[in-house]
Amino acid sequence: MFLQEGWTMKRGLVAAAMAVGLLSAGALPGADKAEAKPFKWAFQGDVQTLDPHGLFETFTLGFQLNFYEGLVSRAADLELEPGLAVSWENVEPTVWRFKLRQGVTFHNGNSFNADDVIFSVDRINTEGSDMKVIAGLIKEAVKVDDYTVDLVTDQPNPILPLQLEIFMIMDKEWSEEHSTTQATNVKGDDQGNYANLNANGTGPFMVVERQPDVRTVLKPNPNWWGEAKSNITEATFTPIGQDATRVAALISGDVDMAYPVPVQDWKRLEDASGVSPLTGAEARTIFLGFDQDRDELLYSNIKGKNPFKDQRVREAFYQAIDMEAIKAKIMRGASTPSNLMIAPQVNGFNAALNDRLPYDVEKAKALLTEAGYPDGFEVTMDCPNDRYVNDERICQAVASMLARIGVKVDLLAQTKSKYFAKVLAQNGYDTSFFLLGWTPSTFDAHNVIYSLMTCRVDGKGAFNLGGYCNERVTELSDLIQVETDQEKRQALIDEANKIHSDEIGHIPLHQQPLSWGVSDGVTVAQRADNQFHLRHVTVK
Amino acid sequence: MIAFVVRRLLQSILVMLAVGFIAFSLFNYVGDPINNMVGQDTTLEQRQELRERLGLDDPFVVQYGRFLVNAVQGDFGLSYRHRRPVAELIAERVPATLELSLVAAFLALFIGVPMGVYTGLHRRGVISQLFLTVSLVGISLPTFLIGILLILVFGVMSQDINAALGFTLVPQLPTFGRGETVQLGWWSTGFLTKSGLLALILPSVTLALFQMTLIMRLVRSEMLEVLRTDYIKFARARGLTNRAVNFGHALKNTLVPVITITGLQLGSIIAFALITERVFQWPGMGLLFLQAITEVDIPVMASYLMLMGFFFVLINLIVDLLYYVVDPRLRADKAVAAGHQ
């Protein structure tokens, strides 16, 4: 058994190395472009809408980025690169000036200019928009000339460009022509919103057929401004909900690429001919959190006080968890144990702060005894069972590890809709101990500090489910938000992260692995945010 | 007769109302749709605003009432997930489910009945024993497992098996989706293309297997029963051909229970097609409903459940009407028999 695990890990490493190799091969201009091929891929669900302002969700946005584009773009390694804007600068602390790319046309032939940017900023402010987070960053969009736009912010925002990849630009004339000038609304008079089922972007691919939940067909945009590296002639997307069916479709060759592949199916893909798993580190950090806010836990046998308010208890929990075992046994060696709440790909990561406290059961027991719980206590743990990679199994492992220090965990694992309905703000953070995952949408540390670590005041710390609160961290969050000097900013981020990990505000576990399956001869780029872009695909 | 049909249709309204009421009272327990409708950075105020716009904070009776008021006006609401009218979504999915269900029902009947007759007539035959043994598999394995086994054999292993043998023993069949469809008005059909027909094979066999074995066993036991009766003995004594005795007299008299069960089963084929649809990614109503459950898409769930309630009532009605056609005694009861007494 142990030998087999080791062997699989090695195969995983080889696959990862191959992925890097493939990635660099794919980046070579004109690599194997001689023969053009169709390409088919599958994901576990369908894109919820073609409207780029309808839903702020990774898969939907990643899919839309095949045919829509933002002012800025990101390369396969998430490095920022020019998109519809060729350059940008912070002309005043609160003004970012974007020089737009000239000669770009939308798929219908309309030309792209500053009016489209202004229009799109207006559109993300409409009722149905789920891009209001982005809208909230921009106080005003000012047209300087046809190819220059100023985005004005309320307060200095040093990372505005980092946040704009997913703010996709729509064509003003097209939207007006099809009366789709408002974002697709779940509730309202715009039933059958045109942009929900049709798309007209500037991106490298165009939607030629759309049957929701059945298939979506895309074709390369011959007039794309960028240099096309992909050689595919047609790309067909099919959602396949059932894991087994999706993996079977990949092995039988019905699709060329499928994701996600269950971690436990990697070996099947390795054994099958013509396909292999493609794994890498995702930028999503999985962590545990405690209710540190209430004076008495909602779900525990300890009455009259809250054990999690005692740092020694939190530390005991931390040191009782054997991350290497979780990595080897549950994540097939593919997770990255972490002490920070952010992944290495995220702006603000500092490797010096990422060493985990050692796994030490004796120490953990001693800490619990010192805190006054020599025999441990009982607590209920909330856990989703269909949201993160092997989420329920991680919770089960944590529960059994905590049992060794006498803590009896009553695990409540349920489907994501029920889990989130229970633990989020709308239900008053109804949890004592929970597992959650987070990828900062901005790929910047501030998003994590602001959403997860600040005290819950004025809409801050909305996902700080346990109510961890340190005034200094909250203050640092505000400072980081407006600090434009990158070095000073990094120091502030480090300080916030250090306080949070010293106080064990949460227990970071790991960055979960990406898990894709790819046919031989197909080259794809695996982004750390689990987005899949056709422009990096070549088929031999 | 007409009064009977009208009464039944009125009953169907009651059934649908009851289904809707129970459904809405349960929606409180399936989770919160809002989290699936917005991104993680959406603020608490915006989430609350959306919840209020959708009326999710209202008591379930109010939500149900609002749904009904709109529904009688032909408006079943907008799907939270698809952001499109539910009626449009369901109309789009009905053809896929009905085509799959009808093919499965057809398979079940036209294979199940002859198998039942055969096993009834040759009780101790080797082939009969084989049919009965195999039918145990059909009865005892859950649908999703049969589906996945079929995918494994006809999708994944077929290439290896054929390569090892050097000839095509196991054909490679499509394992997901409907293949190419042709649009006939609003109805999309997979019957007219090769890929559409091929795509039907695995899901329809999966869906039919249980019903097929059920019908086979039912026909067999009914046949055994009927074959013992006096009128069959008389028929044989009259020197009628085996064919005339077995099919003209015996089989016909087994049909009333078979029709009852088949009719009821057709309802469950349509309703339980959702498991098969899920396994084979068949874009029918069942798949729509299952996705609606994971995303807590209340308008879709409510409409689907009420529609299913209506289907069941309708099918029962058709079954009752079929009795009149098959069993002369029922017709006699009302018209002739009454006079004789």
Q: Which residues on neighbouring strands pair with residue A433, listed in sequence order?
A: A290
Please tell me the distance in Å from A225's CA to the nearest CA on chain B.
30
Per-residue pLDDT at B246? 85
Q: Which carries the bigger pLDDT value, residue A501 or residue B139?
A: A501
The answer to whether A397 and A328 have CB atoms below 8 angstroms apart is no
Q: Which is it for the CA torsion A36, A37, A42, A45, positive or negative?
A: positive
pLDDT grade, residue A11 (50/70/90)? very low
CA distance A308 to B54: 37
Q: Check A415 against B44: CB less than 8 A apart.
A: no
As a 3-state breakdown, chain A gives helix, strand, coil percent values, each rounded to 5, of 35, 25, 45
User: Is the per-residue pLDDT at A13 higher than 70?
Assistant: no
Contact B147, B206 (CB under 8 A): yes
The token pair at B119 is: 């096993």
**Residue B72's pLDDT is what?**
85
Per DSSP (E only), the strands in A159-214 are 205-211
- Write down the pLDDT at residue B340: 45
Identify the closest residue of chain A to B32 by CA–CA distance. Answer: A421
- Judged by CB atoms closer than 8 Å, whether chains meet at A251 and B46 is answered as no
B33 with A242: Cβ contact below 8 A: no
Q: Binning pLDDT at 50, 70 and 90, where does residue A29 land? A: very low
Which residues, 6 or more positions from B1, have their beta carbon under 8 angstroms from its beta carbon? none
Q: Give residue A170's pLDDT.
A: 96
Say if the Cβ atoms of B152 and A248 lie within 8 Å. Answer: yes
Whether pLDDT at A399 is above 70:
yes
Interchain proximity B42–A463, CB inside 8 Å: no
- In chain A, the percentage of residues whose pLDDT exceeds 90 is 73
Predicted confidence at residue A504, as pLDDT, reads 96
* Per-residue pLDDT, A213: 86
> Does residue A3 register a pLDDT over 60?
no
Strands (E), B204-289: none
Strand partners, A281: A513
pLDDT for A189: 55
Sign for the CA dihedral angle at A263, A268, A271, A276 comes to: negative
Please report the pLDDT score of residue B332 as a whole number: 58
The pLDDT of residue B171: 87
Residue A84 in this model has a pLDDT that exceeds 60: yes
Max Cα distance, chain B (Å): 86
What is the pLDDT at residue A311?
95
DSSP letter (8 states) at residue A326: I
Closest CA in chain B for residue A238: B177
Which one of A137, A426, A430, A452 makes the best mutation probe of the B interface by having the most chain B beta carbons within 10 Å? Answer: A426
Over residues A162-170, the mean pLDDT reads 93
- Per the model's pLDDT, the better-predicted residue between A381 and B236 turns out to be A381
Q: Closest by alpha carbon to A302, among A402, A371, A403?
A: A371
Q: What is the mean pLDDT of residues B202-210?
A: 92
Q: Band of the pLDDT at A474, cuts 50, 70, 90?
A: very high
Do the Cβ atoms of B48 and A239 come within 8 Å?
no
Distance from CA of A421 to the nearest CA of B (A): 5
- Answer yes or no: are the C-beta atoms of A494 and A353 closer than 8 Å: yes
- Least confident among A79-93, A250-264, B315-329: B315-329
Mean pLDDT check: name the lowest of A259-263, B98-102, B319-323.
B319-323
Taking an 8 Å cut-off on Cβ atoms, the answer to whether A426 and B39 are in contact is no
Report the pLDDT value the prediction gives residue A43, as an integer from 0 to 100: 94
B205 close to B120: Cβ distance less than 8 angstroms: no
| CB–CB contact B44 A459 (8 Å) | yes
Helix axis angle, A361-370 to A311-320, nearest 10°: 160
Whether B44 sits inside 8 A of A425 (CB atoms) is yes
Query: Which residue in chain B has the smallest CA separation from A275?
Result: B156
B155 chain-A contacts, CB cut-off 8 A: 248-249, 251-252, 254
Task: Measure the CA–CA gap between A478 and A436, rounded to whole angstroms.
Answer: 24
For residue B55, name the pLDDT band (cuts at 50, 70, 90).
confident
pLDDT of A16 higher than 50: no
∠ CA(A378), CA(A379), CA(A384), 5° rounding?
145
Of A57, A187, A244, the CB nearest to B54: A187
- 8 Å CB contact of A386 and B294: yes
Q: φ, ψ for residue B278 (rounded to 5)?
A: -65, -45
Count how many Cα atoms sit within 13 Å of the Cα of residue B247 in the half-sphere of its side chain.
7
CA distances from B232 to B17, B104, B212, B237, B259 (A): 48, 33, 26, 8, 21
**Contact predicate A284/A459, CB 8 Å:** no
Least confidently predicted of A20-29, A424-433, B247-256: A20-29
Residue from the list B44, B54, B172 with its beta carbon closest to the beta carbon of A186: B54
When scoring A131, A164, A191, A245 by the number of chain B Cβ atoms within 10 A, the one with the most, hence best to mutate, is A245
- State the pLDDT confidence band at B269, using cuts at 50, 70 and 90: confident
Q: What is the mean pLDDT of residues B200-217?
A: 91
Q: Do A242 and B39 touch (CB under 8 A)?
A: no
Would you call A241 and B290 a contact, using CB atoms and an 8 Å cutoff?
Answer: yes
Q: Quick one: tokens of A386?
A: 């269909």
The mean per-residue pLDDT over the stretch A450-466 comes to 90
Nearest chain A Cα distance for residue B329, angstroms:
49
Classify strands B187-189 and A205-211 as parallel, antiparallel or unpaired.
unpaired
Query: How far is it, in rounded angstroms, from Cα B323 to Cα B4?
Result: 14
* pLDDT the model gives residue A21: 38
CA separation for the pair B98, B200 (Å, rounded): 12
B268: CB partners within 8 A, 6+ apart? none
For position A193, what pLDDT does the model report? Answer: 82
Dist. CA B56–CA B42, nearest whole Å: 18
- CB-CB under 8 Å, B174 with A242: no
The DSSP 8-state label assigned to residue A459 in this structure reads T
Per-residue pLDDT band for A188 (boundaries 50, 70, 90) equals low
pLDDT of residue A12 exceeding 60 = no
pLDDT-derived band of residue A458, with 50, 70 and 90 as boundaries? Answer: confident
HEC secondary structure over A264-290: HHHHHHHHCCCEEEEEEEEEEEEEEEE
* C-beta of residue A78 within 8 angstroms of C-beta of residue A528: yes
Whether the Cβ atoms of residue A185 and residue A171 lie closer than 8 Å to each other: no
Cα A285 to Cα A394: distance, rounded to the nearest angstrom: 13
User: Letter for the amino acid at A495?
Assistant: E
List beta partners, residue A73: A81
Among chain A residues, the shortest Cα distance to B39 is held by A56
Say whether B220 sits in a helix, a strand or coil: helix
Contact B44 A193 (CB under 8 A): no
> Residues of B with CB below 8 A from A421's CB?
31-32, 35
Half-sphere exposure of A310 (CA within 13 A, CB side): 16
CA A345/CA A288 separation, integer angstroms: 21
What are B124-131's contacts with CB under 8 Å, separation 24+? Answer: B131/B216
Lowest mean pLDDT among A124-128, A165-169, A430-434, B276-280: A124-128
Three-state helix/strand/coil letters over B173-219: CCCCCCCCCEEECCEEECCCCHHHHHHHHHHHHHHHHHHHHHHHHHH
Contact A136, A102 (CB under 8 A): no
When pLDDT is cut at 50, 70 and 90, the band that residue A6 belongs to is: very low
Q: Which residue of B has its CA nearest to A441?
A: B41
Cis amide prior to A440 (ω within 30 degrees): no
Nearest CA in chain B to A61: B39
At residue B144, the pLDDT reads 87
**Distances from the Cα of B134 to the Cαs of A151, B112, B128, B214, in angstroms?**
71, 12, 10, 12
Tokens 């600090």 correspond to A483
Which pairing describes strands A72-74 and A80-82: parallel, antiparallel, or unpaired?
Answer: antiparallel
Q: Which of B47, B54, B80 sits opposite A426 (nearest CB)?
A: B47
- A436: closest CA among A425, A452, A447? A452
Q: How would residue A35 be classed by pLDDT, with cut points 50, 70 and 90?
A: low
pLDDT exceeds cutoff 90 at A327: yes
Q: What does pTM read for this prediction? A: 0.85
Under 8 Å between Cβ of B121 and B246: yes
Q: Which two tokens stand for residue B329?
A: 């005694």
Asked if the model's pLDDT at residue A442 lies above 70, the reply is yes
For residues A525-536, give the mean pLDDT. Answer: 93
User: Which has more confidence, B317 or A523?
Assistant: A523
State the pLDDT at residue A119. 96
Report whether pLDDT(A493) > 90: yes
What integer pLDDT is reported at residue B163 of this predicted model?
83
Residues in chain B with CB shorter than 8 Å from the CB of A253 are 159
By CB neighbour count within 10 A (0-12 exposed, 13-18 middle, 19+ buried), where does A295 fall? exposed
Q: Which ipTM did the prediction report?
A: 0.83
Is the pLDDT confidence value at A216 over 50? Answer: yes
Measured between alpha carbons, how far is A491 from A469 in angstroms, rounded to an integer?
20
B173 φ, ψ to 5°? -120, 150
pLDDT of residue B333: 54
Min Cα separation B239/chain A (Å) = 56
A146-170 mean pLDDT: 93
C-alpha dist (Å) from residue A512 to A336, A358, A500, B11, B97: 7, 20, 21, 54, 38
Q: What is the mean pLDDT of chain B?
A: 86
pLDDT in tens, A285-307: 999 999 999 999 999 999 999 99
Selected residue of B29, B176, B188, B296 to mutate for chain A interface (largest A Cβ count, 10 A):
B176
| pLDDT for position B168 | 81
pLDDT tens for A417-428 read: 889 889 988 788
A-interface mutation test, from B48, B73, B83, B293, most A Cβ less than 10 A away = B83
